A = this chain, B = another copy of it.
Amino acid sequence: MFNTFGNILKLTTFGESHGVAIGGVIDGFPAGLKVNFEAIQQELNRRKPGQSKIVTQRKEPDQVEFLSGIFDGVTTGTSIGFIIKNTNQKSKDYNHNTNVYRPSHADYTYDKKFGVRDYRGGGRTSARETANWVVAGALAKQLIAHISINAYTSSVGDIFLEKPYQSLDFSKIEENIVRCPDVEFATKMIDKIKDIRKQGDTIGGTITCVVQNVPLGLGEPIFSKLHAELGRAMLSINAVKGFEFGSGFCGAKMTGSEHNDIFNKDGSTESNLSGGIQEEYLMVWIFILELPSSRLQLLCKTSLP
């Protein structure tokens, strides 16, 4: 099941960037949830390319259509099928060069692996697939409304937001086009991207995600620990090259006595360097390098199933 992700909720997806439609099936979704369709569409809009001057200008409406599993606006407990039509599928803007492979893309690998090439574009490897994940994630989020999930751009190139997440106001993430909650750093990042774009180039960056109010003990030993499943999910996103949680790679330089999460009397810990699901927050750092820098902020706050 290589096109399926998840344990309790399972998402199975299909679709190529230039086919008729992309979509998926969500299995295991409980009955009785009154669906907020607008909230789903809002998340899709946030993912959509072409929203600001610092990103690619390709426009796709990305309207999700639910085909089953929801009746009178309420989930029925049966599998939820959905599609997003590809309105841009004419592929006028692509050369039908079947012998040209884009560097750092999967074109060449797919061609050799499958022996068949969809020369219209990225095909199944296109990051357009993440729109399917946003649909499933936005729906799943409505089941766990008490868990707070906030992601923001924490670096662009060598500009790092050097502030602890506890000092940030997450409500400001949406106030700028680079989705960094700190105005000063946001401005620097935007200037950096504009600069790079003038040179006809793109730039990498990192996303930080803070998840709060996670139930103690979420995830399952031995191979479905929460951080292992999150790692697999994040590393499935196009252009992501690394994943860390808790102290992350910084912890490699620390001693055990510096790193130990001392317990408080109420079961919480002084820090959460270990990233354990033992208290009220979990900190996840993900790293994304996207060659078209336009994609950078689109992945902010993407909630995966």
B-binding residues in A (CB < 8 A)? 1-5, 7, 10, 12-16, 19-25, 27-28, 31-32, 65-69, 71, 74-81, 83, 101, 103-104, 106, 108-110, 112-116, 118, 120, 123-125, 129, 155, 157-158, 196, 201-206, 216-217, 220-225, 227-229, 231-233, 235-236, 241-249, 251-257, 259-263, 267, 269, 273-278, 285, 287-289, 291-293
Contact = CB atoms under 8 A, between A and B. Distances in A.
Nearest to A86: B67
A232 B5 CA distance: 13
Instruction: Give me the 7 closest cross-chain CB pairs, A-B, nearest first.
Output: A113-B217, A242-B244, A14-B81, A202-B256, A77-B114, A2-B220, A232-B232
**How many copies make up the complex?**
4
A16 B80 CA distance: 10
Contacts of A277: 109
B257 A201 contact: yes
A196 B31 contact: no
A34 to B, nearest CB: 11
B79 A14 contact: yes
A242 B202 CA distance: 26
A74 B12 CA distance: 22
Given A109-B277, A202-B255, 6 more contacts: A32-B115, A109-B278, A113-B216, A113-B217, A228-B231, A251-B289
Contacts of A5: 222-223
